[in-house]
Structures are given as C-alpha cells and as structure tokens.
Structure 1
C-alpha cells in the first residue's frame, strides 16, 4: 500500500490529501476565520462549482479530496487492468477535470448539513425613513448632533444628523425622522413634522 501511495505517479494525489488535512487543521484551530473574498469572475460558473453554497476553504478542501480520491482510484484501476499506472501528465489533468463537476454535486449535497453564514449588517442607506433620537448635542444647520437609530434587526447605530430644513433645530432627546443621507451625514426632520405609521 505504501509503495502504491508514494509511487511517483501518485505524489500529486497524496499531496492533495495532505493539503486538505492541513486546511482542516487550520480551520479547526480557528486561524483561517471567515475571510470574505470578492471574486470578480463568472457567477454562473462559480455557482455551478458550489461557491456560495459552501465557504471557499470548505469548497477547496472538498475539491482536493475528490481530486485525490478520483486520481488514486484511477491509478489503482489502471494498475489492476494494465499492470502499470498512468503517467501524471495524463492522470492529473484527467482527475482535475473529473473532480470539478463532482465538487459541484458534492457541494449541493453537503451544503444543507453545514451551518450557514448569517449577517445582520446593513447599508446605512437602509436607515433612511427610520425614527431616531438625538442623544448628544443640538442639531442645527452646519452643526450636527449625534442620534441613535435602530435598524430592522434591532441593532443600534449612532449617526450624525442635521435638520433637513435649514431654519429648524433638533433638540437633545427629541424624536426625529431620518429623511435622506449625504455621505456620513443624515438629514432629519422633527418626528412631529411627519406622520410615520407604526409597523
């Protein structure tokens, strides 16, 4: 068995298994984290391969596992049938091409059993139309105050606000309505100036 695994024709496949085990160890120790990657490639192809269904490192580990298993099984079959193994120049590309669709299928099978990433992060633009409360300062034109607003997840955000009407002032403790955003600053009106039905 050792002679088969460490034969020159199988080194690439065994190395893939070792790399997969290293990735698993790194993930288990928590060093890899949940790194987000912005991949500017064809979304249909990546979806077909399973990206989006599984974290990228899990998908890489799955591909490496399937690549190694397909390669070793292919070499074992060649050895049993023909008395010798296939040259790596043919076996490695063949195993890689076969492992790609197999990875996509396996990702669809495995994904429902893995915990899914969930985020409550929102764009600040989603706060427009929300009620807020002035918590620090007095907002006037050219003099923003700090306000507290909750998003639809119940998460609190602290934003800087100025009155939408240049002649208006918004006092500390006052309930306001965020009506628009200008970069890091929100424009607001007094809640009494606008009827906002409760949800």
Structure 2
C-alpha cells in the first residue's frame, strides 16, 4: 500500500505529507516559528480580504495554517488519484494531479483553518499586533532619528520578546540620538513615531 506513495504519480503528496509531519514536530517542540503578525494594513476597509478568505486573517499561527494546508493537499491528491484509477485504470500525471489537488486543498483548508480559529479562542500565543507596541518604551540602537530619516530602535513586548523597529520623532524639529529611551506614540505602516522620554511624563500602559 505504502509503495504507491513512492511512484511519480503520488510523490508530490508523499513529500507534502513528510513536510507536514516536520512542521507539526516543530510546532510540538514549541520553537515558536509559527507566530506571524498578519494584522498589518492588508485592507483599507479593515478586513483582510484574501487573507480572511484563506483563514489567515485572524491569529491562527502560520505554521498551523500551513500544516493544515499540506494535510488537505495530501488528502485531496490521494483521493483524486484513487478516483482517477477507478475511472480510467491509471492515476493522473503528478503535475496535473498536484494542480487539481492544490485548488481542492485550498478550498478544504479554508474551512479547516476557519474552524480551527473558532475552536481555539483561548490559544495562548505571543502573536501581537503592531499596534500593541504603541505606548511602550523603546531604546534607539544606532544613528539619530529625524523626521524623514528613521533610526532602528529596540522594544520589548509584554511577552518579553524583543522587536527592532524603525522610529522617527513625533515632532518635526526633534532629533533622537542613539541610546535614548523613547515612548512610542503612533505608527504609520511599518514606521513608528516616538517622543523622547525627557519630553513627556507619559508612562507605558
């Protein structure tokens, strides 16, 4: 039975299955590689559009989504090849079967990913939105941050994980040197704007 997975017609699905198992092990070990902030500016109206449709618009870790997709692709591929064998006496070619299985797998994974997102509301993860970095302290790593000339700064989120972001002064005339501690007050896309600590009595929330 398992020998058929080594034939060219089934090989793409065998590879997908092995990769799925590998990713599952990475997640099980807890390396945290599945955490990805997809909050971003994916839609001007506040919706993720295609990402939402694919099941990636929420906080489902990317590796869990990918594991689900590989599983759906594998199941769809095997089913397609078995159906082809029963109807025409031989499986489809690997590329043709893979193309059909990818389409079917994406459709199945949309349902699976959205289902997983609904049944995992209490999933504890270090995934954060970029907006969660607002009202937090950061330290300028190098260079001088000026309006139009951002500098790299390090910020530690509520989970204790460090992030390197680009900052500019909130006020046009300010310049923030390396080593300064700043308060992040707003962002525009991937760029954050900050006030030097000595310029404000605001405290991080």
TM above 0.5, one fold? yes
Q: Secondary structure at the match of 1:183?
A: strand
Matches within 5 A, 1:1-199: 1-33=1-33, 35-37=35-37, 43-53=48-58, 54-114=60-120, 115=123, 117=125, 121-124=132-135, 183-185=195-197, 186-188=199-201
Answer 1 or 2: higher relative contact order, Cα 8 Å, separation at least 6: 2
1:60-110 Cα deviation digits (max 9, x unpaired)? 000000001000111011112211000112111111011112111111112
- Relative to structure 1, the CA distance from residue 11 to residue 41 in structure 2 (aligned partners, 3 Å threshold; closer, same or farther) is farther
1:156-195 Cα deviation digits (max 9, x unpaired)? xxxxxxxxxxxxxxxxxxxxxxxxx962224349xxxxxx
Q: How many residues align?
A: 136
Larger radius of gyration: 1
- Relative to structure 1, the CA distance from residue 41 to residue 86 in structure 2 (aligned partners, 3 Å threshold; closer, same or farther) is farther
Is 49-58 or 16-25 further displaced after alignment?
49-58
Structure 2, unmatched stretches of 5+, are: 137-157, 159-192
- RMSD of aligned residue pairs (Cα, Å): 3.0
Question: What TM-score does the superposition give when structure 2 sets the normalisation length?
Answer: 0.57
Q: Secondary structure at the match of 1:95?
A: helix
Contact map agreement 2:35 2:125 (CA 8 A) in 1: no
